[in-house]
Amino acid sequence: MSNTNNTQKFMRAKELAKYLGIGLSTVWLYAKQGKITPKKISGKITVFNVEDVEKALIGGAL
């Protein structure tokens, strides 16, 4: 049996903006442009997968 850790870290838009050092409106702009993908987890809560965002940064999408 494998001992890999499959936990994913998610952040809300405000947390992600602070983490990346960008404005909140920029986070939503990137989402609108398809550069990062938001995930709706309830009616009013949207999160972003940090690993996916970091891959977009490394890949030059942001």
Render pLDDT for 11-56 as a digit per residue (tens, 0 to 9): 999 999 999 999 999 999 999 999 999 999 999 999 999 999 999 9
Under DSSP, is residue 47 helix (H, G, I), strand (E, B) or coil? strand
49 burial level (CB within 10 Å; 0-12, 13-18, 19+):
middle
Residue 3 in any domain: the answer is no
Q: How far apart are CA 11 and CA 41, in angstroms?
A: 11
Task: Read off the pTM.
Answer: 0.80
Q: How far apart are CA 29 and CA 10, in angstroms?
A: 18
Under 8 Å between Cβ of 17 and 26: yes
In the chain, the number of structural domains is: 1
Structural domain for 27, as ranges: 10-58
Residue 2 in any domain: the answer is no
pLDDT, residue 46, reads 98
Q: Using 50, 70 and 90 to split pLDDT, how confident is the model at 8? A: confident
Residue 49 in any domain: the answer is yes
In this structure, are strands 38-40 and 46-49 parallel, antiparallel, or unpaired?
A: antiparallel
